[in-house]
Structure 1
Amino acid sequence: MNTLRPVGADARLEIEIRRKSFEASRGGSIDVLHDLDFAVEQNEFACLVGPSGCGKTTTLRLLLGLDHDFEGRIKLPGAGEPRIGMVFQEPILLPWRTVEENVRLALPKALQGKNLDHLFDALGLGKLRAFYPGELSLGLARRAALARALAIEPDLLVLDEPFVSLDEATAQQLRHLLLQIWSEHPTTVLMVTHNVQEAIMLADRIFVLSPRPSHVVGSFLIRVPRQSRNPQVRSDILRSFHERFPTQL
C-alpha cells in the first residue's frame, strides 16, 4: 500500500519507500528501492546522487505520481494541491507552440495572465518568447523548460539531470541562472544528478544512494554559503565528500 498526499504549507518533503520492484521479463521481480528514507526541508536545495541504475529516476516518478505501485508513503510540501514544477532530462516542448505558449500551458488557473517578463528576462529568453522550439539551441530549450517549471511558482521543484549533455560552459551558465532565480524565490528543490561537483555547487544537502536495491547510504550537508564556494572551496568540499563516500559513485 502506498500514500501520496499533500501536507501543510510549511511542511517538508518526506519520502519513505519500503519497497519498489518491477516484474522481470523471465519471471519474478527485481527490487529497485528498499527502505529508501529521506526528507528535504522547506526551501532546501537537495541533490540525489548514486550509481547508474540505482533508482534515482524511479524515485522521482513515484514522487510525481507517475507510478503508484510501491510500498511506503510520500508527503509533499504545499497546501491543498501542491504545485510541482518538473524539469526532465529532455526539454519536452511542444514544437507547434512558441516558447511563451509552452510556458503558459503549465500555468494553473489562478496564475493565468501572469506577467512573465521578469522570468523570461532572468533566463535570457526575453527576445525569444515568440520563437518555436525548433529555432532554439539545446541550451535555450533547456532554459524554456526551466521557465515552464518556475512559472507555476512551485511548492516543489523537481529536476532530473536538467543540464546533462550540455557543454560545460553552457551547463555552468544555466546552473548560475538557476541559483539566481532560486535565491530570489526560494522553494523546496530535489534534483537528480550524476555530477557530484554540480551537486556541491548547487545543493544544501546531498543524499547518496546505494546500488540497487537502493537506500540512502548517508547525507552530506554543505554549510559553506554558495557565494563562498569558489573553485578551491568546491575542490576541498569534493575531497571531503569522497573521503566520506569513497566507493559509492
Structure 2
Amino acid sequence: MNSMQAVGVAAPLKVEIREKTFRSTEGVGVVALRDLSFEVGSGEFACLLGPSGCGKTTTLRILLGLDRAYSGSIRMPAGDSHRIAAVFQEPVLLPWRTVEQNIRLTLPPSLKKVVLDELFEALGLSGLETLYPSELSLGLARRVALARAFATEPSILFLDEPFVSLDEATAERLRSLLVTIWSTRPTTALMVTHNLREALLLADRIIVLSPRPGKVVGIFNVGLPRPERDADHLDRLVRAFKQQFAGVDGFA
C-alpha cells in the first residue's frame, strides 16, 4: 500500500518508505529500502548520499512515480506550477530534434513562447540552439538536459547522478553551472550521488544512507555559503563529514 499527495508550497518533500522489495529472476525477495524517512524543505538543495546499491536511484524512481510497488507514503511540494523536473545519468535527448526543440518539447502550454536566451547564456549553450544531439559532446548534452529541466520552472527538481562518467574537469564545470543556474532560478532540489565532495559542493544538507537495505543513518548540515566552498574548505568539510560518519563506508 502506498500513497502520493501534493502539499502546499511551504511544506517540504516528505518521504516515508516502509519497505521496497524486488524479486530476483529466481523469485527471491531482495529488500532495497526499509524504514527510509527524510524531508526536504521548500527551496532547499539536498543530496541523497550513499554507497552503490543502497537504493538511491530506486528512491528517485519512487519519487518520480515510476515505481509504485512499495509500502509507505510520499508528500510532494506542489508549488504554483505543480511541475516536477528530472535530470538523469544520461541526457535522453531526441536525436532528430535540435537543442532548442529538445528543450521546448517539455514545456507546458503556458511556457511554449517563453524566451530562453538567458537560460542558454547561463549554461553556455548560446549559438548551439540549432545543433542536433549527435553534434554535441557528452558535456554539452548534459547542459541541454539541465536547461530542459530548469526551463519548465519546476516546483521540485530531481537529479540522478547527472555528472557520472564525465571526466573530472568537465564534471566540475557542470557542477559550477548547476550552482549558478539554481541560484538564479531557485527551486526545491534533491540529487542522488555517491560522490562525497560533489555533495559537499552542491548541497545545503546531505542525507546519508546505509548500505542495502537503504535507510537514513544521519544528516550532515554543510553550513557554509557556496561561494566559500573552495578546495581548502571542502577538505575541512570532508574531514568533518568523515568524523561524524566514522565507520560508514562506500563514498567516493
With structure 1 as the length reference, what TM-score do the two structures score?
0.98
Residue 86 of structure 2 corresponds to residue 90 of structure 1:
no
CA distance in 2, matches of 1:25, 1:127: 49
Kindly report which structure 2 residues correspond to 1:72-91, keeping only aligned pairs within 5 A, or say none: 72-79=72-79, 82-91=82-91
Which residue matches 1:31?
A: 31
RMSD (CA atoms): 1.1
- For structure 2, the residue ranges without an aligned partner over 5 or more in a row are none
Which residue matches 1:166?
A: 166
Runs of 4+ in 1 over 6 A off after TM superposition: none
- Secondary structure at 1:39 match in 2: strand
With structure 2 as the length reference, what TM-score do the two structures score?
0.96
Identity %: 58
Post-superposition CA distance 1:169-211 (Å, at most 9, x none): 1111111111111111211110011110011010000011011
Q: Structure 1 residues 81 and 179, CA, compared in 2 at 3 Å: closer, same or farther?
A: closer
CA distance in 2, matches of 1:207, 1:126: 35
How far the C-alpha of 1:24 sits from its partner, in A, is 2.2
- For structure 1, the residue ranges without an aligned partner over 5 or more in a row are none
Which residue matches 1:4?
A: 4
Letter matched to residue 175 of structure 1: R
Post-superposition CA distance 1:114-157 (Å, at most 9, x none): 11110011101111000000000000000000100110001111
Kindly report which structure 2 residues correspond to 1:17-166, keeping only aligned pairs within 5 A, or say none: 17-79=17-79, 82-166=82-166
CA distance in 1, matches of 2:102, 2:160: 19
- Secondary structure at 2:186 match in 1: coil
- Secondary structure at 1:33 match in 2: strand
Post-superposition CA distance 1:89-121 (Å, at most 9, x none): 000000000000000011011211111110011
User: Larger deviation: 135-144 or 7-16?
Assistant: 7-16
Q: Structure 1 residues 124 and 132, CA, compared in 2 at 3 Å: closer, same or farther?
A: same
Given that 2:80 and 2:155 are in contact with CA atoms closer than 8 Å, whether structure 1 keeps it comes out as no
Given that 2:210 and 2:216 are in contact with CA atoms closer than 8 Å, whether structure 1 keeps it comes out as yes
Which residue matches 1:187?
A: 187
CA distance in 1, matches of 2:99, 2:246: 43
How far the C-alpha of 1:232 sits from its partner, in A, is 0.7
- Secondary structure at 2:67 match in 1: coil
CA distance in 1, matches of 2:205, 2:154: 20
Given that 2:15 and 2:39 are in contact with CA atoms closer than 8 Å, whether structure 1 keeps it comes out as yes
Post-superposition CA distance 1:199-235 (Å, at most 9, x none): 1010000011011111000010011111111111110
How far the C-alpha of 1:236 sits from its partner, in A, is 0.3
- Secondary structure at 2:128 match in 1: coil
CA distance in 1, matches of 2:186, 2:80: 19
Letter matched to residue 142 of structure 1: R
